[in-house]
């Protein structure tokens, strides 16, 4: 399995009802918009999908719906990581059985495992499934940082570990991974604002939040960079930069959902403890969207 281009870390739409149930009709619309926008793949049940607030049954239902909606037109990389090795194995096997093309496993959060603990965790998960594995390293959320040396050991032990979503916020890390791992490990940017410089250092694409809102434009910027057309890529990347930044004006995915609600694609309902963004933040999101759309017209 080759990974290249833009992969959208899908939000999970909710109905504005007492249960805040998953809005599968809106989810289908979102997936179609991504495919129409030219993304390479979709990533249901990542952090942006609010998986900590979904039940296990809901997680699996969202992954199954993503597989059905994609209809093999794009790759489906299902988020299955938890801070329990046993639970992650169960979720990963279920996602593979549901037809996901690959799984994405985040570094275990809260319980702060050592490098040796993460080596055992990821090795056990990867060996439990027969699909490709993407490792998601995001120290700002999980507290622990999977070091390049540990990632190399995991990849050597598990040939199906094929990629890493690199979200340390450090372009030098992407450079180190490309140098250390070479073609054995695909590096994907985990930060929209860093996609262009990371591709320049050897990354092959991005797992994006912004592409929920602007799939065509994010896909275009990524493709231009991968084609080596850096002047054009830089122009579009810099135009998108204020939008990338505003997606985190408050906790993700609340700003993205506000943007999608403005586009009448879904409600902006998020599950607690997250809240809908404040009115001041909403004004900033809408201003950034308006400025980007004017500049792109």
DSSP per position, 28-64: HHHHHHHHHTT-SEEETTSGGGTGGGS-HHHHHHHHH
Report how far residue 274's alpha carbon sits from residue 16's, in angstroms, rounded to the nearest whole number: 15
Kindly state the helix (H) or strand (E) to which residue 23 belongs, with its residue range. Answer: none
* Close Cβ partners of 113 (under 8 Å, ≥ 6 residues apart): 121, 144
Three-state DSSP string of 174-233: HHHHHHHHHHHCEEEECCHHHHHHHHHCCCCEEEECHHHCCHHHHHHHHHHHHCCCHHHH
Q: Which residues are catalytic?
A: 136, 165
Q: Provide mean pLDDT across the span 162-166.
A: 97
Lowest mean pLDDT among 182-186, 234-238, 253-257: 182-186
Choosing among 3.40.50.11860, 3.40.50.970, 3.60.150.10, 3.20.20.70, the CATH entry for 5-227 is 3.20.20.70
Segments making up each domain of the chain, as ranges: 5-227
Of the candidates 64, 113, 61, which has an alpha carbon nearest to the alpha carbon of residue 85? 113
Q: Cα separation of 161 and 60, whole Å? A: 22
Q: Is 143 exposed, middle or buried (0-12, 13-18, 19+ CB in 10 A)?
A: middle
Strand partners, 166: 137, 189
Distance of CA 160 to the CA centre of its chain: 19
pTM, two decimals, is 0.97
Cβ-proximal residues to 98 (8 Å cutoff; 6+ apart), any chain: 60, 63, 64, 67, 78
* 188-216 mean pLDDT: 97
Residue 168 near residue 139, CB atoms below 8 Å: yes
Cα-based angle 75, 155, 141 (whole degrees, multiple of 5) = 70
Among 176-190, 204-218, 236-250, name the one with the lowest average pLDDT. 176-190
CB of 3 closer than 8 Å to CB of 188: yes
Cα 139 to chain center, whole Å? 15
Q: Does residue 14 surpass a pLDDT of 90?
A: yes
Confidence of residue 182 (pLDDT cuts 50, 70, 90): confident
Tell me: pLDDT of 183 over 90: no
Q: Residue 130 has what DSSP assignment?
A: S
Q: Would you mind telling me the total number of residues written for the chain in this entry?
A: 297
- Kindly report, residue by residue over 32-87, the tens digit of the pLDDT: 999 999 999 999 999 999 999 999 999 999 999 999 999 999 999 999 999 999 99
CA dihedral 79, 83, 87, 93 (to 10 degrees): 30
CA distance 233 to 214: 15
Which residue from 126, 129, 179 is spatially nearest to 156, judged by alpha carbons?
A: 126
How many CB atoms sit inside 10 A of residue 279's CB? 8
In sequence order, the β-bridge partners of residue 42 are 8, 76
Q: Considering the chain, what is the average pLDDT of its residues?
A: 97
């Amino acid at each position: 399995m080759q990974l290249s281009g833009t992969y959208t870390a899908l939000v999970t739409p909710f109905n504005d009802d007492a249960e805040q149930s998953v809005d599968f009709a809106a989810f289908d619309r979102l997936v179609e918009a991504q495919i129409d926008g030219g993304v390479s793949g979709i990533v249901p049940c990542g952090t942006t999908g609010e998986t900590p607030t979904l039940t296990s049954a809901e997680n699996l239902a969202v992954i199954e719906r993503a597989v059905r909606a994609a209809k093999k037109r794009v790759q489906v990389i299902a988020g299955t990581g938890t801070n329990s090795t046993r639970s992650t194995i169960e979720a990963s096997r279920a996602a593979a059985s549901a037809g996901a093309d690959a799984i994405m496993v985040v570094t275990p959060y809260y319980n702060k495992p050592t490098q040796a603990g993460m080596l055992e965790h990821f090795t056990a998960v990867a060996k439990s499934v027969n699909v490709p594995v993407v490792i998601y390293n995001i120290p700002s959320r999980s507290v622990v940082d999977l070091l390049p040396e540990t990632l190399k050991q995991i990849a050597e032990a598990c040939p199906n570990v094929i990629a890493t979503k690199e979200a340390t916020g450090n372009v030098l890390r992407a450079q180190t991974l490309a140098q250390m791992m070479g073609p054995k490990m695909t590096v994907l940017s985990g930060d929209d604002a860093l996609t262009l410089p990371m591709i320049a250092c050897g990354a092959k694409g991005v797992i994006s939040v912004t592409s929920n809102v602007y799939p065509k434009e994010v896909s275009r910027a990524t493709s231009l960079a991968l084609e080596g057309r850096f002047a054009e890529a830089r122009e579009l990347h810099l135009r998108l930069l204020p939008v990338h930044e505003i997606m985190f004006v408050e906790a993700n995915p609340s700003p993205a959902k506000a943007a999608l609600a403005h586009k009448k694609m879904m409600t902006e309902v998020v599950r607690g403890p997250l809240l809908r963004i404040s009115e001041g933040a909403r004004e900033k999101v809408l201003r950034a969207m308006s400025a980007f759309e004017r500049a792109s017209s």
